[in-house]
Amino acid sequence: MAVSMLIGLVFAGPFLYVLWRNITLGSDLWGELTSASTLRAMTRSVTLATAVSLSTAALGTALAWLTTRTDVPGRRLWRVLAPLPLVFPSFVGAAALLAAVAPGGLVEELLGPVGADRMPDLNGFDGAWLVLTLFTYPYVYLPVAARLTLLPSSLEESARLLGRGPWSVFRTIVLPQCQGAIWAGTLLVFLYTISDFGAVKLLRYNTLTTQIYANRLFDRSQSFALALILALLALGVVVAERVNARRAVRVEAIGAGRPHVVHLGRWRFVALVGLLAVLVGALIGPVATLLYWAVRGLTGAAGSTDLATVAAPTINTAVIGLITAVVAVIVVLPVAFLTTRYRSRTGGVANTFVVAGFAIPGLVVALALVFWVLNAPLLGSLYQTLPVLIFAYVVHFGAQSMRAAQVAVSGVPPRMGDAARMLGAGPLRRLSTVDLPLMAPGLVAGAGLVLLSTMKELPATLLLRPTNVDTLSTEIWNAAEDGFLTDMSVSALVLVALSGVLTWLLVMRRDPSR
Amino acid sequence: MRRTRLVALPLLALALVAAVPACTSDSERLTIYSGRSEDIIEPLLVEFAEETGIDIDVRYGDSADLALLINEEGDQSPADVFLSQSPGAVGFLDQQGALAPLDESILDLVDAENRASDGNWVGISGRVRVLVYNTDDVDPADLPDSVLDLTDPAFEGDVAVAPSNASFQDFVTAMRSELGDDVAEEWLTGMADNDAPVYANNTAIVEAVGRGEVPMGLVNHYYNVRAKEEDPSVPSENYTFPDGDIGSLLIVTAASVLETSDLPDEAAQLVEFLLSEDSQEFYSEETFEYPLAAGVEPADSLAPLDTLSVDTIDFDELGGGLERTRELIEDSGLED
């Protein structure tokens, strides 16, 4: 109880900071809330977030099912590749994809000879929706795939024996059991979309976030008023989702064994083409553009990029990302237990702040941390050290491990703990021998999300990192800032490759169905 | 096997956290917050450290974000020197009273129009606003003499802008300061009515012009210089508006010393170093910017400095400062 209150308070830090700044700057909150431009920006944020949520829910679930439950060719490879689009800093991913498909871009150059000479305009709502869908579906994919890996296949097999077709089994048995994971992932997508800055800015779609950034220096009171509105919006959405989630079907994750595999028959290749199409847009396309920029620069006149300089940032990125992922899972686990197993009210409040915090832009989280660390007693000497940076990441990305942890906790049948207790196992022993092993795939999926998000995070990294500690994302920013596309591409490619390796280590190697 | 890994990670975390030295309170090191990116300033800072024996720490970041950070840090800011990519961010800190006045001897190294009128910051190098154009799509003879002519229907949908970019905002602010709010407002609305395509930043515009997506764009000069360096075959060129037109404004990057610095002498020494002949040659030869001191000439490929519009924006005299500029841009409908 006390633990969850403490965790809730810590995660409420950015909210309290935004509230405090609204007071000290004398923001006209009501005026902002009712102004035409704010309403327009808010409508745009909500419309975009809703659209992206719907499409990622469908896409993420479909991909997760295809790669875990069917005999689609190459599924082991897809399982490593599918989460990777999440690793693109959104401005890099959007810029690369834009350059590829924009008028006069790579695709046009390649396809021009066969008649595709004018590509569609990717700007505004359509572009933002497409790009964000492609780069955020892993928020749904990872938890759903983790869920599917653990689902007992007995029900599906029974249904099949009773003569149900694959689609019917999917709809009536698989889908309801994944509902919790789908909701969890979709909520993250919604919160990510309303807080995203890089992609919407590049794609010229003005949202609340672009207004917060545009005014951050010159009209701080407006900027913080908008940030508060964004925070309230996020809190509202999280509360609404929790009320809804109470109705979700409770599913237990025992007797995992070997999951049921659906034989797609001649649909195998249709599925394969679909998978390829998504990955071309979300991963292969952007990577190809980055490669093109990198090779063009490295072989051209200005080929002065020193590849060795990427080594230290790569190690920093991996180490900091892994630590953050582990810490995030450990920190949110108590809240996940309280909300899921004990339905505690303070746990619910803590959960709301942890999850909604994800919608607060990284810059605001960073400034909040600066404020709290410098003004709290005893913490001052930690300013701009690694613990504070990791702490900021955990506050910013805790939501991602939270929902995965809740899904994992809810999958452990309480009667197994009861049985262990009757056999004389203490709480710690029960945790380590019963709960943790059963929750492992879910927890790892949550940790994976935190890892991928942390490695690309930019504003908080720039402001809070220990001086002279470079990461791949700071390298990417540095080069992009002044138009050094070659250097930017090299760092971004290393980031994608590093994520691929870490995803393989985390996801593939512990895959029970391989 | 799995158990050991689960245990090993938190242990590794603890070890790393413990290994971080508490060096932030170290007042013997000169701390620089740099809105100029590492690629274009680090060699100078390293040289300074080597020459003077002063240890330096540098925090790179977006100029506006760093200014907010310094403001949030208040009295406890570790920063001694703030280098800003544009007058906007350093002007913000000046208005918050965060900057200390620089010595006359340092200020005098730079012409009066390239430094703050209150002597709290000094320009160290400059970028010029230009019109970048695609040579396949645009005949140079058709380019106008003034940026104000771009609202002409002849240029409908042809000129890309980046209204959320700091340089664009500095340009509009300068336009207000030189020609008045009415002219600036009319120009912005005219550009919006002319359906000027909006991009996120200079790089995006230069890329788009290079591939022929849009024929022209208003940017800072060196993005195209860099694009040509990465791919010499790109059909894009910079055009400088003649006769000191406001469209070819020189925007300075600025250096300042923080009021709260505990190493004010060393901080001033760095600012002076950045204005030395060697440093100024670095801007000219390596970053293709305009040197502002020591009589160093800009690169041959650039228009001579005296043909450009040079103007320091006096934020105190300008009604509403950058906040008003933002308002004008928002109200013009350019971003919709």
Per-residue confidence band for B24, with pLDDT thresholds at 50, 70 and 90: very low
Query: Of A259, A70, A264, A61, nearest to A155 (Cα)?
Result: A259
The mean pLDDT of A143-171, rounded to a whole number, is 78
Q: Which residue has the higher pLDDT, B313 or B96?
A: B96
CA distance B290 to A52: 45
Per-residue confidence band for B59, with pLDDT thresholds at 50, 70 and 90: very high
Q: Which residue has the higher pLDDT, B312 or B202?
A: B202
**What is the enclosing helix (H) or strand (E) of B256?**
strand B249-258
CA distance A279 to A290: 15
The answer to whether B30 contacts chain A (CB < 8 Å) is no
Q: Which residues of B touch A102 (CB under 8 A)?
A: 208, 211, 213
Q: Which residue has the higher pLDDT, A427 or A368?
A: A368
Per-residue pLDDT tens over the stretch A293-317: 888 777 765 555 566 788 899 999 9
CA distance A215 to B324: 11
The answer to whether B88 contacts chain A (CB < 8 Å) is yes
- Shortest Cα distance, chain B CAs vs residue A495, angstroms: 19
CA distance B39 to A238: 42
Residue A154 has pLDDT above 80, yes or no: no
The region of weakest confidence among A351-365, A400-414, B73-87 is A400-414
pLDDT of residue A252: 57
Residue type, A79: R
Sign of CA dihedral A434, A6, A182, A96: negative
CA distance B230 to A299: 9
DSSP string, A331-354: HHHHHHHHHHTS--HHHHHHHHHH
Closest CB to B322: pick one of A218, A326, A371: A218
DSSP string, A94-116: HHHHHHHHSTTSHHHHHHGGGT-
Taking CB atoms and an 8 Å cut-off, how many pairs form between chains A and B? 167
Per-residue confidence band for B301, with pLDDT thresholds at 50, 70 and 90: confident
Per-residue pLDDT tens over the stretch A313-364: 999 999 999 999 999 999 999 888 888 877 778 888 888 999 998 999 999 9
Q: Are A382 and B22 a contacting pair at CB < 8 A?
A: yes
For A484, which residue in chain B has the nearest alpha carbon?
Answer: B226
- The CA distances from residue A54 to A48, A58, A182, A282, B194, in Å, are 10, 6, 11, 17, 36
DSSP string, A46-63: HHHHHHHHHHHHHHHHHH
Q: Please, which residues bridge with residue B32 across strands?
A: B58, B81
CA distance A170 to A154: 13
The answer to whether B74 contacts chain A (CB < 8 Å) is yes
The answer to whether B64 contacts chain A (CB < 8 Å) is yes
Q: Which two tokens stand for residue A40?
A: 């327009």
The answer to whether B253 contacts chain A (CB < 8 Å) is no
CA distance A265 to B141: 65
Q: Are A383 and B65 a contacting pair at CB < 8 A?
A: no
Per-residue confidence band for A113, with pLDDT thresholds at 50, 70 and 90: low
Per-residue confidence band for B12, with pLDDT thresholds at 50, 70 and 90: low
Residue B203 has pLDDT above 80, yes or no: yes
CA distance B134 to B217: 9
Q: Are B73 and A380 a contacting pair at CB < 8 A?
A: no
Chain A interface mutation, best of B4, B11, B20, highest count of A Cβ atoms under 10 Å:
B20
Residue B213 has pLDDT above 80, yes or no: yes
Per-residue pLDDT tens over the stretch A199-231: 888 888 889 998 898 888 878 888 999 999 999
Q: Are A215 and B326 a contacting pair at CB < 8 A?
A: yes
Average pLDDT of chain A is 84
Residue A116 has pLDDT above 60, yes or no: no
pLDDT of residue A514: 41
Please report the residues numbered 129 through 158 in chain B whose beta carbons come closer than 8 angstroms to any beta carbon of chain A: none
Per-residue confidence band for B206, with pLDDT thresholds at 50, 70 and 90: very high
Percent of chain A with pLDDT over 70: 90
Q: Which residues have a Cβ under 8 Å from the Cβ of A96 and sit 6 or more positions away?
A: A88, A285, A286, A287, A289, A290, A492
Dihedral, CA of residue A67, residue A72, residue A77 and residue A79, to nearest 10: 0
Q: Which two tokens stand for residue A36?
A: 């035409």
- Shortest Cα distance, chain A CAs vs residue B47, angstroms: 17
Query: Within 13 Å and on the Cβ side, how many CA atoms surround B77?
Result: 28
Q: Which residues have a Cβ under 8 Å from the Cβ of A457 and sit 6 or more positions away?
A: A362, A393, A396, A397, A473
- Shortest Cα distance, chain A CAs vs residue B223, angstroms: 6
Closest CB to B207: pick one of A99, A319, A463: A99
Q: Are A37 and B330 a contacting pair at CB < 8 A?
A: yes
Coil vs helix vs strand at B21: coil
Please report the residues numbered 179 through 208 in chain B whose beta carbons come closer than 8 angstroms to any beta carbon of chain A: 198-200, 202-204, 206-208
Q: Please, which residues bridge with residue B126 across strands?
A: B252, B290
b/e A274-299 (16+ beta carbons within 10 angstroms → b): bbeebbebbbebbbbbbebbbebbbe
- For B141, other C-beta atoms within 10 Å of its C-beta total 5
Per-residue confidence band for A440, with pLDDT thresholds at 50, 70 and 90: confident
b/e A499-512 (16+ beta carbons within 10 angstroms → b): bbebbeebbeeeee
Tokens 């600025």 sit on residue:
B254
Q: Are B68 and A219 a contacting pair at CB < 8 A?
A: no
Closest CB to B232: pick one of A216, A301, A474: A301
CA distance A444 to A448: 6
Q: Are B10 and A201 a contacting pair at CB < 8 A?
A: no
Q: Are B200 and A381 a contacting pair at CB < 8 A?
A: no
pLDDT of residue A259: 63
For B79, which residue in chain A has the nearest alpha carbon?
Answer: A467
Per-residue confidence band for A6, with pLDDT thresholds at 50, 70 and 90: confident
Q: Are B326 and A382 a contacting pair at CB < 8 A?
A: no
Q: Which residues have a Cβ under 8 Å from the Cβ of A441 and sit 6 or more positions away?
A: A146, A149, A150, A408, A510
Structure letter (DSSP) for residue B307: G
For A327, which residue in chain B has the nearest alpha carbon?
Answer: B10
Tokens 């007797």 sit on residue:
A255
CA distance A286 to A410: 37
Query: Of B48, B35, B38, nearest to B89 (Cα)?
Result: B35
**What is the enclosing helix (H) or strand (E) of B33?**
strand B30-34
Q: What are phi and psi of A284, to 5 degrees?
A: -65, -40
CA distance B102 to B264: 10
Contact B197, B209 (CB under 8 A): no
The mean pLDDT of A391-399, rounded to a whole number, is 93
Q: Which residue has the higher pLDDT, A135 or A431?
A: A135
Structure letter (DSSP) for residue B293: B
Closest CB to B38: pick one of A102, A105, A478: A478
Q: What are phi and psi of B256, to 5 degrees?
A: -150, 160
- Shortest Cα distance, chain A CAs vs residue B225, angstroms: 10
Q: Which residues of A touch B17 (CB under 8 A)?
A: 323, 386-387, 390
Q: Are A467 and B31 a contacting pair at CB < 8 A?
A: yes
Q: Which residues of A touch B230 (CB under 8 A)?
A: 293, 296-297, 300, 302, 485-486
Coil vs helix vs strand at B197: coil
Per-residue pLDDT tens over the stretch A270-285: 889 999 999 988 999 8
Tokens 């939501």 sit on residue:
A399
| Helix, strand, coil percent values for chain B (each to nearest 5) | 45, 20, 35
Contact A95, A476 (CB under 8 A): no
Chain A interface mutation, best of B57, B96, B231, B288, highest count of A Cβ atoms under 10 Å:
B231
- CA geometry: angle B73, A393, A439, nearest 5 deg: 155
The answer to whether B49 contacts chain A (CB < 8 Å) is no
Crossing angle for the helix pair A36-69 and A220-245, nearest 10 degrees? 40
